[in-house]
Copies of this chain bind each other. A is one copy, B any other.
Amino acid sequence: MKALEEKILKDGSVLPGNILKVGSFLNQQMDVGFLMKMGKEIARLYKKEKITKILTVEASGIAIAVVAAAALKVPAIFAKKSKSSNVSGALYSAVVHSYTHNTDYTITVPADYISSDDRILLVDDFLANGYALMGLKKIVEDAGATVVGAAIAIEKGFQQGGDMLRRSGLRVESLAIIDEMTDTGVSFR
């Protein structure tokens, strides 16, 4: 999505440790008009897939999930993060490794929000090592539902998550794929 690449170049910045800072329009501050366009692009990419629900992880995935759901006219669900693996009740859960914080956390979705006839699109703001998406995929599969694919705002193409997930057969559509980030710039695939 050319407009997203331009927005990253204009409003994003690269911090030490391969961190791309896009908090001014995509994360903590949200340019909602621009996000709505991203949601429409996701809907265009997946319009033939008869998607019934969108699944993301709190907190930074919620905004992009909401705009994609608005464009696809389906509900959105977010998995909650818990530090404890001791979750109870009728929940689907998965353990996700956080590379940023070097710790594991558990994500959960109430069992009654996903049924076996759902066709689910996974949505997230970033794709790097792919651990969060793998956790979401496990939750949908545990529910016996279908993972249609994943829609990502920004993929860090120099990390292995996107390639790994595509090799596993998952359709992954990223609105922008960054191949290289340096102090002096960002280059896209």
Contacts and interface: CB of A to CB of B under 8 A. Distances in A.
Interface of A: 23-25, 28-33, 35-36, 58-59, 62-63, 65-67, 69-70, 73-78, 80, 109-110, 112-113
Contacts of A109: 28
A74 B30 contact: no
A75 B110 contact: no
Main secondary structure of the interface of A (DSSP, over half): mixed
A54 to B, nearest CB: 8
A67 B76 CA distance: 13
A69 B62 CA distance: 14
Contacts of A32: 66, 69-70, 73-76
Contacts of A30: 65-66, 69, 75-78
